[in-house]
Amino acid sequence: MVSIPLMFDSAKTDVGDLAKAAAGADTPHRDSRGAPSATLVLPAPHITTANAKRVADALRGLKGVDAAASRADIAKKEIHVKLDDQGGAKLADIEKALADLRK
CATH number at residue 93: 3.30.70.100
Report residue 7's pLDDT band, with 50, 70 and 90 as the boundaries: confident
| Residue 27 lies inside a defined structural domain of this protein | no
pLDDT digit string, tens, across residues 17-69 = 999 999 999 888 888 988 899 999 999 999 999 999 999 999 999 999 999 99
In a domain, 9, yes or no: no
Residue 84 CB partners (closer than 8 Å, separation 6+): 16, 19, 64, 65, 66
In a domain, 70, yes or no: yes
Task: Give residue 79's domain range.
Answer: 37-102
Task: Identify whether 76 is part of a domain.
Answer: yes
Q: What is the pTM of this model?
A: 0.90
Q: Is residue 96 part of a domain?
A: yes
**The pLDDT value given to residue 13:** 80
For residue 18, is it within any domain?
no
For the chain, the domain total comes to 1
